[in-house]
């Protein structure tokens, strides 16, 4: 009888005759219909393309950082439709080439658009390994290596936070989710009954964060049922740092209203300005009012690797929880996001466990405290710590420190160059690697500061960015911010970036924007 | 001046002399200190190891599925500590070999432990591509190919749900998170003000799910502030299906209590038994009481690919939302999890948006409706749809259907074999690929059914599993369930599995358990 599943990879016909077929429900069952050894040829061809196009060319400064097409154009170029029949290997390999070609090269030395960039070869190998092994990090029994590497990495990160008594943690799928963890743990620590009874049985809970915080704090409040209006937004100073006196005022205000303040989410390395909240002062206020102190150090946490720059996070040792994403400044690859708590009472487990008996059996033959999955809000979970562990092994703590120091020195270099150049204006002196600046085309330089001037400046960055993207020369971010019109935000991270790329950035903006 | 960052990859010294150095903050800045072209040799060596060890050997039925070591032993074997200094490439390559060696081979034909298994070469290539490109799926500008492939895959999945008017969706980091999305969207649809005001301003909300549901429903209720006690658990029948009349009763009960019923989470393919809730009957009740109908089809959704088996999900076309994980039965690789809503009002955006001006600028030069990131609770997000898209292109819808049909036929084959063999006893007739059974060693076969008998049977599966793991022959799940003592749960998914592996499973259990 003919096999019904002939669309599989090569070799199926040959393999099937080797064994005695049985027909069940109209399906012929005998040998495997997918032979991985046979599929290896395809994998090798694909890897050749990936190494050539997605690694070598994609990181070459002489190549484009992106090849721009509108969504409509790109749909035509890609032939995205999914059909009844499959496609042969040569066609699939061409699809791989096309997908890479039309993708933005985030590992390119001139990709400056986000708070991550570059390509670290050790992290990448770690990721290839975990993708090939496809583990899920709920139990030791199915992910022994990855449970242990997560434990070691978290322990080391906890040390860097200065939590001398230790702590606990978990890797999560993004800093936004880490901030959600913080909200949940904070309210559970204050009201353990919230897990069972929910918030409708609670007084109105209020949390505090600065106006410069990441937008995920609002998302967390909405998602966790706190409500965005119960996030009291604390003004920041001109450098983007939360003003402690204003925090104190808002806590008092919430109390007067009869609400229950329960946590502060401070930020170490804000998204736009790269500002660090004054953690010691905030810790004082949190202690005074028994508030959970969370620090969103997703972006700024990397400075803890540097003896030169770790002072930026002075006070983080007093935090109750911290979110820190090594996939950003430390280049561990998306995603690599640690959420850590200083607590010693296994609060992650208590707060999140659901004790599924099919997964977390208590009658296993090994120490089930290594089955860490019930600490998580996820069930299947990717082993995101492993790639960071491998990279850390390869570079050493000193190597990571050198990268951070170099990135900050590069930002300092760019800052000084901006000051020297006509037509460029700094938004503020950077503390971190966020360098924020306007470009003022010659036509506007004689205008006096005022709404008309700023209205015109507002249009510059989007236009320059459009030209850059269509040229494929640079990807850099811009945004309006508070009362400030659109400005560029240059982020330097990767050791692939050279000083000349900084010069090129300014040259390119000047060249594309000079006649606007 | 000597460079301060000499721990980087090869070639740095040579590259630095090529350019004019500038010293800033004690750091020498000039050319890149990481040259990816130089690092390619390392990447190639690592890829050779990965292909050999994590692909070829890891999927070879003649190799072990795992090499068991206790956590303490494994810590010694791996030398996990992270140190000041880095390690050279040969040492890192050995670490790669070790990490693979001591990992469980989830792509092995005899890995039956979870609701995912096997290795699909197309999905794996998709994952290698996205890891190399390291994109984040918030905006079209940085992830054009991946935004479009997500759109196409979701559209096709929505079609398979039978939502003729269309729908919307998003890929999330796990079915648990998808179920959380469902809770959030359901309550937002009923009470849009909950986003701002939170649950303390709401009446007590109650949701319903069956006793057989996935544990993430309880986690969702806790995390989202609903409270686990406000999840009313509906009894299931002997086959594991929610009893509609009991649902009706519980809805009435909640109303009498003055609470506000808002959603039902039905399950299509339960975790342990593989049962499908009666969706049409549940839809009737939801309509009658204006409840949001969510279907957790993370596991069972794959049956929608099969014209032979899609009847299992009859009624899903009436659901308001669905969670479906192609990383399970469809082998798209962890993680690949779609959350879909039938709504036509852009509710994902309304419910989750925070409108970050630094990311979702409205003055971009392209159609910003392609910047889909604000639909998500995440900020950076992995492009999990792409690997599924590539695999779908390669296999076609027919190829995916053949895999599902084959997996179910294999489960049927195993079921009939269990019936034939002495000492094996089915827990129930399977509807899906979950085959649940006890093994009764000869020493217990003469005992009459009763607490003592079942007490002894309870100890069998853990002991057999321990022996299997230490031998490395098979990984298969077991659990107690409701009033039933530990039984094996065999899950068949991958086309790498042959009929003989089913026979081997029973032989091996018999051989390891016969003298217990």
Collapsing DSSP to helix, strand or coil, A423 comes out as coil
**B416 to chain A nearest CA, in Å?**
10
Q: pTM of the predicted model, to two decimals?
A: 0.96
| pLDDT, position B443 | 96
Determine how β-strand B321-324 pairs with β-strand B337-341. antiparallel
| Type and span of the H or E element at B338 | strand B337-341
Percent of chain B topping pLDDT 70: 96
Token pair, residue A480, equals 């309006």
pLDDT tens digits, B233-253:
999 999 999 999 999 999 999
Collapsing DSSP to helix, strand or coil, A111 comes out as strand
Pick B29's closest partner by Cβ from A201, A367, A409: A409
- The pLDDT of B85-114, averaged and rounded, is 98
What are the φ/ψ torsions at residue B293 (nearest 5 degrees)? -105, 110
| pLDDT, position A14 | 47
Interface check A434 vs B, CB under 8 A: no
A230/A221 Cα distance (integer angstroms): 8
CB neighbourhood size of A81 (10 A): 10
pLDDT for residue B477 is more than 60: yes
| pLDDT, position A232 | 98
Interface check A316 vs B, CB under 8 A: no
Token pair, residue B429, equals 């007739």
| Confidence class for position B4, pLDDT limits 50, 70, 90 | very low
CB B330 within 8 A of CB B122: no
Q: What ipTM does this complex have?
A: 0.96
Determine how β-strand A337-341 pairs with β-strand A321-324. antiparallel
Calculate the average pLDDT of chain A.
95
| pLDDT, position B8 | 55
| pLDDT, position A407 | 98
Pick B365's closest partner by Cβ from A58, A184, A466: A466
**Tokens 């009929």 label which residue?**
B499
pLDDT tens digits, A146-171:
999 999 999 999 999 999 999 999 99
A504/A510 Cα distance (integer angstroms): 10
CB A95 within 8 A of CB B390: yes
| Confidence class for position A37, pLDDT limits 50, 70, 90 | confident
pLDDT tens digits, A77-97:
999 999 999 999 999 999 999
- The pLDDT of B265-276, averaged and rounded, is 98
| Confidence class for position A8, pLDDT limits 50, 70, 90 | low
What length does chain A have?
A: 516
Token pair, residue A155, equals 């322990």
pLDDT for residue A254 is more than 80: yes
| pLDDT, position B197 | 97
| Confidence class for position A3, pLDDT limits 50, 70, 90 | very low
Residues 85-104 on B with a CB inside 8 Å of A are 85-87, 89, 92, 95-96, 99-100, 102-104
Residue in B81, B212, B100 with CA at minimum distance from that of residue B484? B212
Q: Mention every residue, 6+ apart, whose C-beta is less than 8 A from residue A245.
A: none
A182/A188 Cα distance (integer angstroms): 10
State whether the Cα torsion B388-B394-B398-B404 is positive or negative: negative
| pLDDT, position A12 | 46
Collapsing DSSP to helix, strand or coil, A1 comes out as coil
| Confidence class for position A18, pLDDT limits 50, 70, 90 | low
A497/A269 Cα distance (integer angstroms): 21
Interface check B201 vs A, CB under 8 A: yes
| Confidence class for position A460, pLDDT limits 50, 70, 90 | very high
B508/B83 Cα distance (integer angstroms): 44
| pLDDT, position B302 | 98
| Confidence class for position A223, pLDDT limits 50, 70, 90 | very high
| pLDDT, position B38 | 79
Strand partners, B23: B28
B184/B198 Cα distance (integer angstroms): 11
| pLDDT, position B42 | 96
**Tokens 């007490």 label which residue?**
B455
Pick A24's closest partner by Cβ from B96, B354, B409: B409
pLDDT for residue B17 is more than 60: no
**A454 to chain B nearest CA, in Å?**
15
Token pair, residue A404, equals 């951070």
* Nearest residue in chain B measured CA to CA from A122: B43
Pick B382's closest partner by Cβ from A27, A29, A334: A334
What are the φ/ψ torsions at residue B71 (nearest 5 degrees)? -55, -40
| Confidence class for position A38, pLDDT limits 50, 70, 90 | confident
CB A21 within 8 A of CB A29: yes
For every residue of A237-278, DSSP letters joined together read -TTS-B-HHHHHHHHHHHHHTT-EEEEEEEEBS-TTT--B--
* B355 compared with B206, residue with greater pLDDT: B206
Token pair, residue A156, equals 């080391």
What is the b/e burial string over A41-69, where b = at least 16 CB atoms within 10 angstroms of the residue's CB? ebbebbbebbbebbbbbbbbeeebbbbbb
- The pLDDT of B380-395, averaged and rounded, is 98
Interface test with B, best of A198, A220, A375, A419 (most B CBs within 10 A): A198
| pLDDT, position A220 | 97
CB neighbourhood size of B165 (10 A): 8
pLDDT tens digits, B106-161:
999 999 999 999 999 999 999 999 999 999 999 999 999 999 999 999 999 999 99
What's the Cα-to-Cα distance from A395 to each of A116, B14, B41, B86, B156, rounded to whole Å?
Answer: 18, 19, 17, 4, 44
pLDDT tens digits, A373-414:
999 999 999 999 999 999 999 999 999 999 999 999 999 999
Residues 318-347 on A with a CB inside 8 Å of B are 327, 333-335
User: CB distance B498–A410 less than 8 Å?
Assistant: no
| Confidence class for position B396, pLDDT limits 50, 70, 90 | very high
| pLDDT, position B341 | 98
| pLDDT, position B18 | 54
B295/B217 Cα distance (integer angstroms): 11
pLDDT tens digits, B183-193:
999 999 999 99
B345/A240 Cα distance (integer angstroms): 37
Calculate the average pLDDT of chain B.
95
* Nearest residue in chain A measured CA to CA from B11: A496
| Confidence class for position B357, pLDDT limits 50, 70, 90 | confident
Residue in A422, A423, A418, A421 with CA at minimum distance from that of residue A489? A418
Q: Is the bond into B54 cis (omega within 30 degrees of 0)?
A: no
Measured at the alpha carbon of residue A361, what is the angle toward residues A356 and A362, in degrees to the nearest 5?
120
Token pair, residue A202, equals 């609670």
Strand partners, B170: B339
pLDDT tens digits, A303-320:
999 999 999 999 999 999
CATH number given to B395-513: 3.90.1150.170
Pick A132's closest partner by Cβ from B55, B173, B416: B55
C-alpha A460, offset from chain centre:
28
- Helix then strand then coil, in percent of chain A rounded to 5, is 45, 15, 40
**B126 to chain A nearest CA, in Å?**
8
Sheet containing A321-324: order of strands:
A168-172, A337-341, A321-324, A292-296, A260-267, A205-210, A231-234
B155/B2 Cα distance (integer angstroms): 57
Interface check B379 vs A, CB under 8 A: yes
CATH number given to B136-382: 3.40.640.10
Residues 414-433 on A with a CB inside 8 Å of B are 416
Interface check A125 vs B, CB under 8 A: yes
* Nearest residue in chain A measured CA to CA from B151: A80
């Amino acid at each position: 009888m003919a096999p019904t599943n002939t669309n599989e990879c090569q070799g199926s016909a040959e393999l099937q005759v080797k064994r005695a077929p049985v027909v069940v429900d109209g399906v012929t069952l005998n040998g495997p219909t997918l032979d991985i050894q046979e599929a290896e040829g395809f994998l090798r061809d694909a890897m050749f393309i990936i190494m050539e196009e997605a690694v070598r060319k994609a990181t070459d400064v002489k190549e484009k950082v992106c090849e721009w097409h509108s969504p409509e154009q790109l749909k035509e170029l890609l032939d995205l439709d999914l059909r009844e029949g499959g496609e042969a290997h040569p066609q699939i390999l061409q699809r791989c080439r096309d997908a890479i070609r039309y993708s933005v090269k985030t590992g390119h030395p001139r990709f400056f658009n986000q708070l991550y960039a570059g390509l670290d070869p050790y992290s990448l190998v770690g990721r290839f390994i975990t993708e090939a092994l496809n583990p899920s990090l709920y139990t030791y029994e199915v992910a022994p290596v990855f449970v242990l590497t997560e434990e070691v990495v978290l322990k080391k990160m906890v040390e860097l936070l200065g939590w001398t008594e230790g702590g606990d943690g978990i890797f999560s799928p993004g800093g936004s989710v880490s901030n959600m963890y913080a909200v949940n743990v904070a309210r559970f620590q204050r009201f353990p009954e919230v897990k069972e009874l929910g918030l409708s049985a609670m007084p109105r809970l209020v949390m505090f964060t600065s106006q410069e915080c990441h937008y995920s704090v609002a998302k967390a409040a909405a998602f966790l049922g706190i409500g965005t209006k119960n996030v009291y937004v604390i003004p920041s100073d001109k450098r983007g740092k939360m003003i402690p006196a204003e925090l104190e005022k808002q806590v008092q205000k919430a109390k007067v209203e009869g609400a229950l303040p329960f946590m502060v989410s401070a930020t170490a390395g804000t998204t736009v300005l790269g500002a660090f909240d004054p953690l010691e002062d905030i810790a004082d206020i949190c202690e005074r009012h028994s508030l959970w102190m969370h620090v969103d150090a997703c972006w700024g946490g990397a400075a803890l690797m540097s003896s030169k720059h770790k002072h930026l996070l002075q006070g983080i040792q007093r935090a109750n929880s911290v979110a820190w994403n090594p996939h950003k400044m430390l280049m561990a690859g998306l995603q690599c996001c640690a959420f850590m708590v200083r607590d010693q009472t296994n609060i992650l487990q208590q707060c999140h466990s659901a004790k599924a008996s099919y997964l977390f059996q208590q009658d296993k033959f090994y120490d089930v405290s290594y089955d860490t999955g019930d600490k998580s809000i996820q069930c299947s979970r990717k082993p995101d710590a492993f790639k960071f562990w491998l990279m850390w092994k390869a570079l050493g703590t000193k190597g990571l420190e050198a990268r951070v120091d170099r990135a900050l020195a590069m930002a300092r270099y760019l800052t000084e160059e901006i000051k020297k150049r006509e037509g460029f204006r700094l938004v503020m002196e950077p503390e971190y690697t966020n360098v924020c600046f306007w470009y003022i085309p010659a036509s506007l330089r004689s205008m006096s500061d005022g709404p008309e001037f700023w209205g015109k400046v507002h249009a510059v960055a989007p236009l320059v960015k459009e030209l850059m993207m269509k040229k494929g020369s640079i990807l850099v971010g811009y945004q309006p911010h508070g009362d400030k019109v659109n400005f560029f935000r240059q982020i330097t991270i990767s050791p692939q970036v050279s000083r000349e790329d900084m010069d090129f950035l300014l040259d390119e903006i000047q060249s594309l924007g000079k006649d606007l």
